[in-house]
Structure 1
């Protein structure tokens, strides 16, 4: 009767090779997911100020206001926020996080007719852009 006391060296090498192949496939996909989620988080953080921005424009007759007036902080975990409070203003997020997006910007901008558009820094690959952004 032959007793099997463990794995052979070749069996262990095959397992290590399989793990390496799976890691080589999974890591880039995970990094892409992280980049997309960080950009989406940036859009979510600035989108909350859109309604108050409109209210400030209508209530203040186009006088200047700042981020605090529309309920947004200057910095968050994902963004450093800035804005232009003119009629055709914008709320901008300078992204933090993954090195591929750090320093890049995403913004929502208002037209004179009150329509908001999402704009993405051209340094961010289009495959990472959120739906509805240009």
Structure 2
């Protein structure tokens, strides 16, 4: 993940990064800290505090407002097809499915699909 974040932060167009997560604020912050990501994302939107949860459009739009980026210029990457990628897409963002397990359905999932975070920087540039 660190290599992906470094690539996304590189010029010519460094990207604004953030996290949208469903759950209790204290638990989600503990998870973020537990995987060593505290401070790596300037914007964190947690469903309990936001008043809505993924896949509701409201939480994705709140995250965009918090980051100061319009939905149509925002990509959201998540490992759940319906909750993350399609939810973001329905809110006007570019939803990207991180399908690490390679479980894509036989038909087109309707959103861009990557199997590793290494594939993300070229997709966004």
Structure of greater Rg? 1
TM-score (ref. length: structure 2): 0.28
TM-score (ref. length: structure 1): 0.27
